[in-house]
Structure 1
Amino acid sequence: MADNTVLLILWIPFLLLLPLLLLLLRKEINKPQKHFPPSPPKLPIIGNLHQLTQSGSSLHQNLWRLSEKYGPLMLLQLGRRPTLIISSAEAAKQTLTDNDLHCCSRPYIWGSRRLTFNYLDIAFSPYGEYWREIRKICVLEIFSAKRVQSYRSIREEEVVKMIDSISDASASSSPVNLTEKLFALMGSIIFRIVFGTSFQGHDLEHERFLRVLHDSQNMILGFSAADFFPPGIGWIIDRISGKHREFDRVSREAWEDKQEHEDTVDVLLKMIKEQTGIGAAQLGHNNIKAVLLDLFLGGVENSATTIIWAMAELATNTRVMKKAQEEIRNCIGNKRKATEIDIEQLQYLKMIVKETLRLHPPGPLVVTRETMSHFKVLSYDVDPRTTIIVNDWAISRDPEFWNDPEKFIPERFDDRSVDFKGQHFDFLPFGAGRRICPGIYMATTIMELALANLLCCFDWKVPDGMNEEDIKMEETTHGVTNSLKNPLNLVPDMVEGP
């Protein structure tokens, strides 16, 4: 009798919970099954990471090859991180526009967090009140058309300095390292825009400054084990590989407090003095430094890289170069150099810039997003906390939209009203939706002015012993920037004035 009582007592909790268990089981059975995008086979722990590291290929090319097999929407497991790869214009449109609010945040990335003072910048800050406020401030105070125009004299003066330095080299008919010249130009322009002073006589030497930017670009979006593996494992792998030491070094070098420099950042410092608020917080020096990091990384690396690609393509396409030079020289007439006023009339030059951004987007993978809620793309389910990568390199070479997509043909834009402001999803060099790059106008203004003057002031040829075909259009990736692998060396021949 006692045994039966004990047994009954043991069964009572189960009997009481049984209806609840049956209800939960029924709910689970009746729940609609999710339909996820196709995925390649994955390995334990690392998932699909091993498939992204094929020797001799860049990440965007490896992703494109996988998408050729698994489709324009592909779900990868990168360590612990589910990652959606988008490789078609329609999938990009449905994600970045139709479902923009579901996926406009940013994933946690160790390098970004360290270098942006815990996400105080625009590019990598998660979606929320802070990001909306800091972006609004920067759009109005840094990237507006009026503010960009106020920097016109800086851009034109620095371009003239570059042209003068190339003129000295042209006298001896010796090759010029355009890669070096263009990075120096972009660094000088952005430095003056930010700090109101040039490199000469500056504590932060020119070469060291560009090296710090280059290192920062690699660190801010480069591979870190902590991004993909559980915290303990990722920390150990990074510790072994020395990543933490690199992050610490770049962080210290990039943002040493130099009050004499900060005093020249007039617009943003004025907002600090006026105690401008961002949500519940006040704008401070770390906010400014984080925003300036975005300005330097986007303004220097991406702009210089695009012009280098353009000059490399022009050097191997003499027909296109001569057509552009004829347009520019006819426009400027008796003047020796092109100004920003002239640029508005140079439609073929603008086509060259567009074609360069199509064929060689400086950021071949649009900066990663993270989903905040469930939504559907191409009838597939996308869960919250999924990383999203849009392969702009693959989309802008899609033969469905582009004839002869591998060829450099600026004329393809002559009869197509396509721009890069995020409304044409077969062409997304600056992204789209809420996270579109706010500095489009500033970037294109600088690129067009520099390229116009390189073409109007000089004729260009390859060094002795080379043919145009010897210029290899090989890519290398620094952080997220898609660069010409080898320095571009061309021989300038100065065009004498009338």
Structure 2
Amino acid sequence: MDPQVHFIFPLLFTFLLLLFLKHGKKYKASKLPPGPWKLPLIGNLHQLGPLPHHSLRDLSQRYGPIMHLKLGEVSVVVISSPEAAKQVMTTHDLAFVNRPEILAMKVMAYNSTNIVFSPYGNYWRQLRKICAMELLSAKAAFGAKCEKHDEFIVLVKEALEMAGSGGLDVHDIFPSLNFLHSMTVKPKQERMHQRLDRPRRQADSQLFCSTLNHSLFTFIQDIFTAGTEPSSTAIEWAMSEMIRKPRVMEKAQAEVREVLKEKNTVGEEDIEELNYLKMVVKETLRLHPPAPLLIPREERETCEVNGYEVPIKTQVIVNGWAIGRDPEYWSNAECFEPERHDGSSVNYRGTNFQFIPFGAGRRICPGMSLAIANIELPLAQLLYHFDWKLANGVQLEELDMTEAFGVTVRRKNDLHLIATPYIPALDY
């Protein structure tokens, strides 16, 4: 064997051992939350698996609802209980109000100037006010129609598919390896950004002043991302759950058809009368929150959560999927039972921490109202106008409910149903 190999391997082993011991002593001396054993360099990345929300739930059952991990170089605390979530999102909200710097957002969202990832401050407050009152309100669901082949719609769809494919950006977990990002993912992100940015550049070149500035363009991006992928994902899960439980499907259809009678479209006033449909939507969001790990937060200042120290710059992930299936708060937690919400005061608006599909506190999803409208309206139309059954002779118990992890958690395999037009009986 080459003498150089005899020299390099012991040197590399010694370096990794010293690095591991250094980090181990630092964690032991601090009051960090408990967590699984961390490997040198990669930390706990190998334990995430293809469905991280499942893996993190399983780990939390062993190490507790406040758990410390290392994802590459990044220190992460995972929250898996309503009590701990309340501390992060309400009690210590200001300490956890920032978002981590995601390199893709710096490229695609004009240095993270969108509502989701912009730093906490005056700019974010103004942005949120405008979005909540005008752009991302439920009224936006009743606006003008877009042609399905509109170029911008196609580009947004491509961007969502690219984002929804999952995966990790090396820079986000190994910041010291920034040079790799510049040679791999970043050029692809910049090409997509240039395509999405083309309408703004064209408008700027035709006007005397730049009216479509970066902030306005990120508003548009937020509207499309908040009102398309999460809502369509939730509708597909709702139809999947109802097709498996014909009783629920029949009850929801009976209510919709009674309220709408011979109308062709669903209005905002009709939705308010569809109480059982609203229960179906709530139960769908409990079992299948579109973003099961919510959006990460980043510690602005060191603070304590349930006696554990969370150092500054630590990223905090709230496992909303695990919380929504916690058997301590939900009977038959894995079962789809819309009736559990009948007469219940528990809602998704951030005041009941056992049910937080949109988050809570200052960083609660500003597009929540738009997302709900974009779920309830199409779902009501689907239930009113059609009867449904599984395609290709698939039996109810054979329906595959496997998930695929990405920006939203979709079905791994598309849902194939046969639609039969519903013809209401006429009174003579």
Q: Provide the TM-score with structure 2 as the length reference.
A: 0.87
The reply on whether 1:392 has 2:334 as its aligned counterpart is: no
The reply on whether 1:149 has 2:118 as its aligned counterpart is: no
Runs of 4 or more above 6 Å deviation: 259-263
Matches within 5 A, 1:273-292: 285-292=213-220
1:178-221 CA distance string (max 9 Å, x none)? xxxxxxxxxxxxxx4xxxx4345x444x55541233224558xx
Q: 2-side partners of 1:209 and 1:373: how far apart? A: 36
| Cα gap change, 1:230 to 1:461, in 2 (>3 Å) | closer
Q: Which blocks of at least 5 consecutive residues in structure 1 are unaligned?
A: 1-32, 155-191, 264-268, 274-283
User: Hey, what does 1:348 align to over in structure 2?
Assistant: 276
1:215 is matched by which residue type in structure 2? M
Matches within 5 A, 1:477-496: 477-478=405-406, 480-496=407-423
Deviation (angstroms), 1:120: 0.9
Deviation (angstroms), 1:341: 1.6
Q: 2-side partners of 1:51 and 1:34: how far apart? A: 23
Which secondary structure does the structure 2 equivalent of 1:496 belong to? Answer: coil
2:174 is matched by which residue type in structure 1? F
Which secondary structure does the structure 1 equivalent of 2:110 belong to? Answer: coil
Deviation (angstroms), 1:385: 0.6
Q: Which blocks of at least 5 consecutive residues in structure 2 are unaligned?
A: 1-28
| Cα gap change, 1:48 to 1:203, in 2 (>3 Å) | closer
User: Hey, what does 1:313 align to over in structure 2?
Assistant: 241
Deviation (angstroms), 1:95: 0.9
Which secondary structure does the structure 2 equivalent of 1:367 belong to? Answer: coil
| Cα gap change, 1:393 to 1:262, in 2 (>3 Å) | farther
Q: 2-side partners of 1:109 and 1:244: how far apart? A: 12
Q: 1-side partners of 2:57 and 2:210: how far apart? A: 45
Q: 2-side partners of 1:305 and 1:63: how far apart? A: 22
1:486 is matched by which residue type in structure 2? N
The reply on whether 1:449 has 2:377 as its aligned counterpart is: yes
Deviation (angstroms), 1:294: 2.0
Share of identical aligned residues, percent?
A: 41
Q: 2-side partners of 1:65 and 1:76: how far apart? A: 14
User: Hey, what does 2:172 align to over in structure 1?
Assistant: 227
Q: 1-side partners of 2:202 and 2:178: how far apart? A: 39
User: Hey, what does 1:94 align to over in structure 2?
Assistant: 87
Which secondary structure does the structure 2 equivalent of 1:119 belong to? Answer: coil
CA contact (8 A) 2:403 2:410 kept: yes
User: Hey, what does 2:41 align to over in structure 1?
Assistant: 45
User: Hey, what does 2:362 align to over in structure 1?
Assistant: 434
1:132 is matched by which residue type in structure 2? R
| Cα gap change, 1:296 to 1:38, in 2 (>3 Å) | same
Question: What is the aligned-residue RMSD (CA, Å)?
Answer: 2.3
CA contact (8 A) 2:303 2:311 kept: yes
Which secondary structure does the structure 1 equivalent of 2:114 belong to? Answer: coil
User: Hey, what does 2:160 align to over in structure 1?
Assistant: 213
The reply on whether 1:324 has 2:252 as its aligned counterpart is: yes
Matches within 5 A, 1:335-414: 335-414=263-342
CA contact (8 A) 1:338 1:456 kept: no
2:308 is matched by which residue type in structure 1? Y
| Cα gap change, 1:408 to 1:400, in 2 (>3 Å) | same
Deviation (angstroms), 1:253: 2.3
Q: How many residues align?
A: 395
Which secondary structure does the structure 2 equivalent of 1:85 belong to? Answer: strand
Larger radius of gyration: 1
User: Hey, what does 1:158 align to over in structure 2?
Assistant: none
Of 60, 67, 72, the residue aligned with 1:74 is 67
Of 170, 190, 193, the residue aligned with 1:248 is 190
CA contact (8 A) 1:105 1:372 kept: yes
